[in-house]
Amino acid sequence: MMSRVLWTVWVLGAVTKLSKEEGPDQASSPSCDPMGVCDGRFRSLKSIPSGLTAAVRSLDLSNNEITYIRNRDLWGCVNLKALKLVSNGINAIEEDSFISLRSLEHLDLSYNLLLNLSSSWFRPLSSLKFLNLLGNLYKSLGETPLFSQLTNLQILKVGSIDSFTELQEKDFAGLTFLEELEIDASNLQRYEPESLKSIQNISHLALRMKQPIFLLEIFVDLSRSLKHLELRDTHLNTFQFSKASIRETNTLIKKWTFRNVKITDGSFSELVKLLNCVSGVLEVEFEGCTLDGLGDFDISDIDKIKNIGGIETLIVRRLAIPYFYSFHDMSSIYSLTANVKRVTVESSKVFLVPCLLSRHLKSLEYLDLSDNLMVEESLRNSACEQAWPLLQTLILRQNRLKSLEKTGETLLALKNLTKLDISKNNYVSMPETCQWPDKLKYLNLSNTRIYSVTRCVPWMLEILDISNNNLDSFSLILPQLKELYISRNKLKTLPDASLLPMLHVLRISKNTVSTFTKEQLDSFSTLEALEAGGNNFLCSCEFLSFTREQQSLAQILTDWPDNYLCDSPFSVRGQRVKDTQLPASECHRVALVSAVCSVLFLLILLTGVLCHHFHGLWYLKMMWAWLQAKRKPRKAPPRDVCYDAFVSYSERDSYWVENMMVQELEHFDPPFKLCLHKRDFIPGKWIIDNIIDSIEKSHKTIFVLSENFVKSEWCKYELDFSHFRLFDENNDAAILILLEPIEKKAIPQRFCKLRKIMNTKTYLEWPTDETQQEGFWLNLRTAIKS
């Protein structure tokens, strides 16, 4: 127990000391993600950080100031797979520094200051697949084999531009197979024979050397083990081929690449001799090379050569000819091209392929002249009669072509042409009709700035690429078309399927398509793949429902779901269509409106029932009439009062009013002037206004009360308006005549004001006894006069 406490105290003390001594380094220690990938580049670290554990899977400490690697620095990294220590200035590594890295697969120690290499560093690295030792200060790979224990090594890079001077026979002992071997032997001064022969199988050797002094020896050593030889940064001006040095003419090398190599007229002839001497080479590539000559090749030697070995593919990219304007005709080497099947000449300022050369290319099946200076006139000379008789694929991408009509006519001589790429030319417009080779099946018109397609496009095409143009519609009938590439245009919808009955593949990404439906997809009966991502999708309820219901959508949409983003509505812009959900109010709007309408209808129906039951309509009418009355002056001027009384009565009581009351009052002396609605209301005037005006122009209002009265709505209005005057003006304008007995409980609730008046006003009862009627009329006349 005590020993454990002491150990803990010691560890804490060590950590405290390290934090004080290495404060700046610790502050800029590597950042690690949850997968154990740690990035410590450009942190000004002086040493490998302490505290690294088994959780670290990848450690990149490149571009720091680490000069020394100690045994204990990486002890805890037992699960480390990748270690990168590029450009640190490391000059020493202790013997057992990598002893715990048995799982390490990638080790990069390039561009440091290592003077000597030790086999003990690599002995524990049995899982290592990648090792980079380029750019250090060692002159050779040591006294003992370095890589004999690295049985799983696949990629090896050694050497440096200045210091590495020697390759020894033992250097690669134990290595039987490498996918890639890169040797920077720019300053190679000594090459022991068979130094590279020990490697039994190399897929690709990249050899950087300034002078070709040991080129033939290296070639001989590798002729039976190497598949692809790449020569970099070499000046071949002194290269001399000696047939005596080539003992094996049947080589495994299938491809030669010359990258940034300078070739003279003489060395070109020597290379031709070498390639002619060995068999098996199928492809030769020149990348960024310089032909430093005038084309003055040794014709006497070339005339003896019928073809260059078995070369079928020739690739030339970015070829520079400094003395181009003084360059001779290359007709002396035309005969070497008879068996070549594939030729690529890119970015080399080619403006013409002479007709004679085209006729010599009798086996040519593939020709790529991308990024050159070809125009229609020079193309006409190149594609002359009997030119390229077997040519099937022609690529003229990014040249100076401007007329589709002329381009098509120029190529009519190519009877076997099936694939034509004329993309990235400046065509802009497309004529209505064109002529094309009869067998043409593939046409690439992408990046040509065209804004419409016409019948100039050959109807027999199977593949058409018109992507990245200015098209806003596609209405061309192509009955045999199987693949259509129309991305990066301005189309708003998918093409009509009836125009493309055989379509298998459609790419219409990055247009302005807002939606597509199940019916549209089903109409393409043969469609196998659709790429429609990157469009401005309107995420409507119908579109979202369609994408969810189609479980097989991912099988057809090759870029589903990541490239399908909503553009609208604004609330879901930027969301993946697959993940988008709209509110129920958006997706069930019809049902919601129907529900709201149903609720409103029920409320209206309920309101109607309640109004009918509680006489609500009557109250509304009364409210309106009341408002009309309120708008009138409270009391008419005396000069406007022209009636002694306004008589409010039910039409059913008109006989008593007109034949008895009118006779008694208007024929009395002096006579009373009564206002009767039948006689005195102004025709055409709203009845409410007539009632209000009549009451206001009358000194009194007589109500003839009966069972008929309480059943009349108009009598109720007249009673209310009189009530306004009675209570609002505090006068005694109302006279009640009870024509027949009425029980108060029999009076409807809506006649609340009649109840109040009968409780507060004295009313006159019409006597049935004739002897008492004279007294009734006397009292009535008195009430009117009061």
Q: How far is CA 773 from CA 737, 738, 770, in A?
A: 13, 13, 5
Does the pLDDT of residue 118 top 60, yes or no? yes
What is the mean pLDDT of the segment spanning 482-506?
96
Per-chain mean pLDDT for the chain: 86
Residue 278 has which token pair?
């060995």
Does the pLDDT of residue 732 top 70, yes or no? no
Does the pLDDT of residue 244 top 60, yes or no? no
Prior bond of 670 cis (ω within 30°): yes
Prior bond of 34 cis (ω within 30°): no
Q: In sequence order, what E strands does 689-777 have?
A: 698-705, 734-738, 763-765
Tell me which residue has tokens 């009373």. Answer: 672
Residue 4: pLDDT band (50, 70, 90) is: very low
Q: What is the pLDDT of residue 693?
A: 81
Q: How far is CA 530 from CA 404, 540, 558, in A?
A: 29, 21, 6
Q: What is the pLDDT of residue 24?
A: 42
Does the pLDDT of residue 512 top 70, yes or no? yes
Beta strand 366-368 pairing with 566-568: unpaired
Residues 97, 102, 104: CA angle, nearest 5 degrees: 85
Nearest to 71 by CA among 43, 92, 55: 92
C-beta separation of 71 from 96 below 8 A:
yes
What is the mean pLDDT of the segment spanning 591-614?
81
3-state helix, strand, coil in the chain (%, to 5): 30, 15, 50
- Which three-class secondary structure state does DSSP give residue 107? strand
Q: Round to whole Å and give the CA distance between 422 and 424.
A: 7
Q: Which residues pair with 643 in a beta bridge?
A: 698
Dmax over CA atoms of the chain, in Å, equals: 169
Q: Round to whole Å and give the CA distance between 670 and 672.
A: 7
Nearest to 386 by CA among 418, 362, 354: 362
Q: What is the pLDDT of residue 605?
A: 85
Of residues 718 and 742, more confidently modeled: 742
Q: Which helix (H) or strand (E) holds 601?
A: helix 589-613
- pLDDT tens, residue by residue, 749-773: 656 666 666 666 667 888 888 888 8
Most confident residue range from 143-147, 270-274, 606-610: 143-147
The answer for 48, left when phi > 0, alpha when psi is -120 to 50, beta otherwise, is: beta
Of residues 49 and 686, more confidently modeled: 49
Of residues 742 and 491, more confidently modeled: 491
Does the pLDDT of residue 92 top 90, yes or no? yes
Q: Which residues pair with 84 in a beta bridge?
A: 60, 108
C-beta separation of 512 from 487 below 8 A:
no
What is the mean pLDDT of the segment spanning 445-460?
95
Cα–chain-centroid distance for residue 93? Answer: 50
C-beta separation of 329 from 357 below 8 A:
no
- pLDDT tens, residue by residue, 624-668: 666 665 565 555 566 678 888 888 888 888 888 888 888 888 888
Q: Round to whole Å and give the CA distance between 142 and 692.
A: 126
Q: Round to whole Å and give the CA distance between 317 and 319.
A: 6
> Dihedral, CA atoms, 453, 454, 455, 461, nearest 10 degrees?
0
Q: Which helix (H) or strand (E) holds 448?
A: none
- pLDDT tens, residue by residue, 529-553: 999 999 999 998 888 888 888 877 8
Of residues 734 and 358, more confidently modeled: 358
Q: Which residues contact 597 (CB under 8 A, 6 or more apart)?
A: none
Q: What is the pLDDT of residue 721?
A: 61
Does the pLDDT of residue 690 top 90, yes or no? no
Range scoring the smallest mean pLDDT among 215-224, 326-335, 392-401, 572-581: 326-335
Q: Round to whole Å and give the CA distance between 91 and 27.
A: 25
C-beta separation of 376 from 411 below 8 A:
no
Amino acid in the structure at residue 732? D
Q: How far apart are the first and last CA of the chain?
A: 124
Residue 678: pLDDT band (50, 70, 90) is: confident
Q: Round to whole Å and give the CA distance between 414 and 401.
A: 18
C-beta separation of 453 from 430 below 8 A:
yes
Q: Which residues contact 244 (CB under 8 A, 6 or more apart)?
A: none
Does the pLDDT of residue 571 top 90, yes or no? no
Range scoring the smallest mean pLDDT among 348-357, 572-581, 617-626: 617-626
C-beta separation of 402 from 378 below 8 A:
no
Residues 724, 727, 728: CA angle, nearest 5 degrees: 65
Q: Which residues contact 658 (CB under 8 A, 6 or more apart)?
A: 676, 678
Q: What is the pLDDT of residue 748?
A: 63
Q: What is the pLDDT of residue 332?
A: 75
Q: Round to whole Å and give the CA distance between 362 and 619.
A: 106
What is the mean pLDDT of the segment spanning 401-419?
96
Q: At what angle do helices 713-723 and 616-631 cross, to 10 degrees?
A: 40
Q: Round to whole Å and give the CA distance between 385 and 643.
A: 122
DSSP string, 613-668: HTTHHHHHHHHHHHHHHHHS-SS--GGG--EEEEEE--GGGHHHIIIIIHHHHHTS
C-beta separation of 686 from 659 below 8 A:
no
DSSP string, 766-777: PPSSHHHHHHHH
Q: Which residues pair with 228 in a beta bridge?
A: 204, 255
What is the mean pLDDT of the segment spanning 561-581?
90
Does the pLDDT of residue 712 top 80, yes or no? no
- pLDDT tens, residue by residue, 611-622: 777 666 656 766
What number of other Cβ atoms are within 10 A of residue 283's Cβ? 16
Beta strand 37-39 pairing with 31-32: antiparallel
**Per-residue b or e along 159-192, where b marks 16 or more CB atoms closer than 10 Å to that residue's CB:** bbeebbbbbbebbbeebeebebbbbbbbbbeebe
Phi, psi of 715, rounded to the nearest 5 degrees: -60, -35
Q: What is the pLDDT of residue 469?
A: 96
Q: Round to whole Å and give the CA distance between 698 and 703.
A: 13
- Which three-class secondary structure state does DSSP give residue 420? strand
Helix and strand element counts for the chain (H, E):
23, 35
- Which three-class secondary structure state does DSSP give residue 258? strand
Q: What is the pLDDT of residue 713?
A: 64
Q: What is the pLDDT of residue 723?
A: 55
Q: What is the pLDDT of residue 11?
A: 34
Residues 594, 598, 604: CA angle, nearest 5 degrees: 145
Q: What is the pLDDT of residue 18?
A: 35
Q: Round to whole Å and give the CA distance between 267 and 123.
A: 44
- Which three-class secondary structure state does DSSP give residue 26? helix
Q: Round to whole Å and give the CA distance between 253 and 267.
A: 20
Count CA atoms within 13 Å of residue 300 on its CB side: 1
